[in-house]
Amino acid sequence: MSATIDDFQKIDIRVGTIVDARPFPEARKPALKLWIDFGAALGTKCSSVQITEHYRCDQLIGRQVCAVVNFPPRRIGPFQSEVLTLGLPDEDGAVVLIRPDFPLPDGGRLF
């Protein structure tokens, strides 16, 4: 199945800064809960992420990440995940977060 540029433009991918990170012991698979600041236009959104192989909560505060911000919220156990934080698998399948090379204004859109 192929996608068009119009399909891609429907996905709203933004950069934000992680302002809080906590363990998520209620999740079925090892996960963390993140709160990500996307600037004045979108505010702070939360996300459940399965990134425990490479990241600890204290390492994530202040890190910028990319996330899809216009998917519907998804309930994961007792937690409402509002954005899809993006990552890629390493050679063992563990998720590595996607982030910009340089600091960017929170809320900047990928285009």
- Give the mean pLDDT of 41-46: 96
pLDDT for 1 beyond 90 = no
pTM for this model (two decimals): 0.95
pLDDT attached to residue 81: 98
Task: Give the contacts of 69 (CB within 8 A, at least 6 positions apart).
Answer: 12, 13, 14, 38, 42, 45, 82, 83
Q: Which single residue is written with the structure tokens 């990170």? A: 21
pLDDT for 25 beyond 90 = yes
pLDDT attached to residue 71: 97
Model confidence over 71-107: pLDDT tens digits?
Answer: 999 999 999 999 999 999 999 999 999 999 999 999 9
Which domains are present in the chain?
Answer: 5-97 (2.40.50.140)
